[in-house]
Amino acid sequence: MLKRFRYQIAIFASVVGPGLITANVDNDSGGILTYSQAGAKYGYLPLWTLIPITLLLIVTQEMCSRMGAVTGKGLSDLIREEFGLRTTFFLMIALVLTNFTNVIAEFAGIASSLEVFNISRYITVPICAIAVWLLVVRGSYRSVEKVFLVACTLYVTYIFSAFLLKPDWKEAAIYSVKPILMFDEGYITMLIAMVGTSIAPWMQFYLQSAIVEKGITAKEYVQSRIEVIVGCILTDVVAFFIIVSCAAAIWAHGPKDINDAKDAALALKPFGQYAYVLFSAGLFNASFFAACILPLSTVYTVCEGLGFESGVDKRFKEAPEFYWLFTLLVVLGAGVILWPNFPLVKMILGSQVLNGVLLPVILIYMVMLINKKSLMKEWTNSHAYNAVAWISVIIMIGLTLALASITVKQLTQPSGGAALEHDSKPLAQVKGDDAGGHAFKLDTRESNGTHLLR
Amino acid sequence: MADELLFLTELLGLKVYDLKGRRLGFVKDAAIVPLIHPSRVDRFLLGGGWAWLTVKHDQVRSISLDGIYLKDELLTPYHSDEYVLRLVRDLLDQQIIDGQGRKVVRVTDVTFKIQHAENGDLLHIDDVDIGLRSMFRRLAQGVIPRRLVRRLQEVIPPHSLRWEHCSILEADPQRRLRLNVSNEILERMHPADLADIVEDLSPDDREAIFETIDSEVAAEALTEVEPDIQASILESLETEKAAEIVEEMAPHEAADALAELEEQTSEDILEEMGPEPKTEVEELLEFAENSAGGLMNTEYVALPENATVAEAMEGLKAHEEILETLNTLFLVDADGRLTAAVPLAKLFIAAGATPLKDLASEPLLQVDVEEKQDRITEIFDKYNLLALPVVDETGKLAGAITADEVISLLRQK
């Protein structure tokens, strides 16, 4: 009996990694920025979106992990085998571009998290880039995975910082389950952005490859699925505490816009030394962690799909494309941050558009693949699951396309910087007399057509 | 002559004309029937009309970049056939094993040689293309004219494998037989290389290979595969086949592999094994994994303590299968208790009548079956050993730990 139990534990231990890591990298610097913005500007109101986001995340991630476990092949492998080289090639180009801008965003996160402590980016970014390169290229998969799992636990800093800020837990609890929809462009954009940063194209590829790399098979799939679901939930728990922190520290004293996760950290400063240190440490951890995973995931995906030799256990000479692409992504990604006057904001907005265009395509391919009997045997989706999957896909497509079009609109506005400045005026906050406690009077430009739906 | 070659990407979409020069359709796929001929394109599949048609190789008059001209118009509708390997469906974009480079690669294109025979042109698969050049060809095909593609691709170095050095993957063992997929290429490889390849494959492909490959080769390769993959392979195989492979493995390797499995599975496999290897493996399974008993192997050579060099040489002939890695002989008394260890190399410079005892290493190093692995690696390091005898509580020789085992152990850390 005990032996049986030990065996179960051993199996579970052998599947831990892929799901947790993927889910946590999801809270990268872009994610933290989005959640901070949401909390700073709208307080506890956007919290309700976290539950549907978690569900969407679970549906997509579960499909990937199942495909990985059953077929033993990565997502790009499967796309190549089932849809041919040309499809794969263009998908890979799009993925490299999207992920490259994401890598830039991670290095930006590293730079700004340490600038909070007055350390220049010209010191931190090169050092971190070298560290990322060495960790991934010189470490073995197992040891690297351990480092990443430790990094996952560091997200706790956000929970501590939230408690230090003494938020209004009652409100947080109420708005976590009470959907609030306002027809206000800023609010809608924020909601879409939250979904958009939570479910990204690279995750699908990374998770599936990690499952395969870990050697998880259909037999261990039940345990693996639990791990994936736990990962998804944890991600959004962290997101919850980030939003709550910013709501307590910033929004409660007057909603405002922040343009940078650093702004959020600095805004926490008056409320206590520790909260702001923890917040910045969390940001650094998340950015560094993602800066390792993203380029690595990108090169794995590309090399698998296009048939180049890949793997950190290969030598430089055996897998030149693999190492060159990885090195380029890290060096250019970090280099761009040090480039004075680089249009960083435009680039990151652009990456959101690409994300939005790429994600639906990948989700559609995923649902098509997972329903192929020849690949998945008895593990294809059930009818009910398919309905859920397609609905999720359609929701995702709608939301990401909406986000993409809003971003395109911002990008095509005459002056580039205006995109982010346009709503940077402080908003007036008025205490309402309805039961919920808060109603918003938005400044005149944005209040046109604003309704509050309860 | 460059014209003698044709690529699969060029063949696809090539127009097919009948005797009067009327266009019948386009090539959609080409197929070989490996049971009949390993490389000749047996039939072309034609699309463009209502249904796909089959053009047999002996109905073709000429093949060139300008199109395929037939000499016979009696075409049959296409229907799927288990004996046929369709190049686009089954080969293009799929993984195959490169027997020379000893790795798994993905097929980007196929190069044919056009053979001009008396009664018509034939296509033979010459190379499988995997590099950037073939990738460019695939992407450019249909966008720019075929001849221009050929000219432009010259700047990119080619990267191809000879067809005869490739082994295709087919996850269905039945179809593997029908397609005449030979395991010869795999069986000729070094087991360690085969193990690396197997680790790169999907579980289904691994299973298919181990299901059909020679048990002895399978055993050697399986020994080299990582423990968790080892377990998943054994679990996926038919119990009978798994037992056959485990029997061929060295007993201590077999015990290690079985220890990774779920208890029921490993019992089932043991049940299927012959009585002798079964008891041997079962005894080894009793030891804790990280003790001397768990590390030792039972393939050693033990001789009576009064044996001479000549007798030892004679005795070794009976152990031919383990000579490759053997480096130490053990001497035991009448009760099987260890009395000495003799380095094998010393035998070659000693006279035939010399008692082995005189050649023994001093001091005699041995460990108990219960000894912890840290202590064992320490002893290997301190005394620069190649092999260390393991004895049970009565001093009887139980097995030997070899240096390669210690190296694996240290690498795992």
DSSP string, B84-117: -EEIIIIITTSEEEETTTTEEEE--EEEEEEEEE
Say what the ipTM of the complex is. 0.73
Are both B29 and B145 inside the same structural domain?
yes
Using CB atoms, pick whichever of B130, B139, B232 lies closest to residue A217: B232
> For chain B, how many structural domains are there in total?
3
Structure confidence at residue A240 (pLDDT): 87
Tell which residue, B113, B354, B388, B202, has the closest CA to residue A67. Answer: B202
Range of the domain at B251: 192-286
In a domain, B297, yes or no: no
pLDDT tens profile B282-313: 778 777 777 888 888 888 888 888 888 888 88
Please check whether residues B97 and B10 belong to one and the same domain. yes
Question: Has residue A342 been placed in a domain?
Answer: yes
Q: With pLDDT > 90 as the criterion, what percentage of chain B qualifies? A: 0
Which CATH number characterizes residue B204's domain? 1.25.60.10
Using 50, 70 and 90 to split pLDDT, how confident is the model at A123? confident
Residue B370 touches partner A, C-beta closer than 8 Å: no
Q: Are strands B5-7 and B109-117 parallel, antiparallel or unpaired?
A: antiparallel
Q: How confident is the model at residue A79 (pLDDT cuts 50, 70, 90)?
A: very high
CATH number at B343 reads 3.10.580.10
Residues B203, A84: C-beta atoms closer than 8 Å? no
Last residue of a domain, one of B262, B286, B310: B286
Residues B343 and B397 in one domain: yes
- On whether residue B323 sits in a domain, the answer given is yes
Give the model's pLDDT for residue B413: 64
**pLDDT digits (tens), chain B, 413 positions:** 445 888 888 888 888 898 888 888 889 899 988 888 888 988 899 887 778 888 888 888 888 888 888 888 788 888 877 888 888 888 888 888 888 888 888 899 999 998 888 888 888 998 888 888 888 988 888 888 888 888 888 888 888 888 888 888 887 777 777 777 778 888 888 888 888 888 888 888 888 888 888 888 888 888 888 888 888 888 888 888 888 888 888 888 888 888 888 878 888 888 888 888 888 887 787 777 778 888 888 888 888 888 888 888 888 888 877 787 788 889 888 888 888 888 888 888 888 888 888 888 888 888 888 888 888 888 888 888 888 999 888 888 888 888 888 888 887 76
Expressed as residue numbers, the domain containing A91 is 23-453
Question: Does the residue A139 lie in any domain?
Answer: yes
Q: Is the separation of the CB atoms in B300 and B274 below 8 Å?
A: no
Q: Say if residues A425 and A443 touch (Cβ distance below 8 Å).
A: yes
pTM equals: 0.77
What gap in Å lies between CA A299 and CA A136, rounded to an integer? Answer: 12
Per-residue pLDDT tens over the stretch A186-209: 777 777 778 777 888 888 888 888
Residue A7 is nearest to which of B204, B235, B262, comparing CB atoms? B262
**Entry field: residues in chain A:** 454
Highest mean pLDDT pick, A1-10, A391-400, B27-36? B27-36
Q: How far apart are CA A79 and CA A91, in angstroms?
A: 9
Supply the pLDDT for residue A8: 52
Residue A430 lies in a domain: yes
**Same domain? B322 vs B399:** yes
Q: Total domain count for chain A? A: 1
Which residue of chain A is at minimal alpha-carbon distance from B139? Answer: A86
Q: Which of B163, B183, B217 is the last residue of a domain?
A: B163
Asked if the model's pLDDT at residue A422 lies above 60, the reply is no
CATH (domain of A347): 1.20.1740.10
Q: Looking at the domain assignment, is residue A322 inside a domain? A: yes
Q: And the tokens for A406? A: 């809003």
Question: Which residues does chain B have within 8 Å of residue A72's beta carbon, measured at their own beta carbons?
Answer: 201-205
**Is residue B378 assigned to a domain?**
yes
Q: Does residue B182 lie within any of the structural domains?
A: no
Please give the angle made by the CA atoms of A316, B130 and A301, to the nearest 5 degrees. Answer: 55
CATH code, B58: 2.30.30.240
Residue B180 in domain: no
Could B235 and A215 be called an inter-chain contact, meaning their C-beta atoms sit closer than 8 Å? Answer: no
B345 occurs within a structural domain: yes
Instruction: Identify which of A225, A216, A227, A234 has the alpha carbon closest to the alpha carbon of residue A152.
Output: A234
Q: Say whether both B316 and B269 belong to one domain.
A: no
Same domain for B156 and B9:
yes
The average pLDDT across A396-422 equals 64
Could you give the CA distance from residue B76 to residue B49 in angstroms, rounded to a whole number? 13
Question: Do B317 and B252 share a structural domain?
Answer: no
B76–chain A Cβ distance below 8 A for any pair: no
Band (pLDDT 50/70/90 cuts) for residue A426 is very low
Q: Within an 8 Å CB–CB cutoff, is residue B202 touching chain A?
A: yes
B292 found inside a domain: no
The region of weakest confidence among A11-15, A47-51, A94-98, B368-372 is A11-15
Q: Is residue A17 part of a domain?
A: no
Does B365 share its domain with B226?
no
Query: Are B202 and B324 within one domain?
Result: no
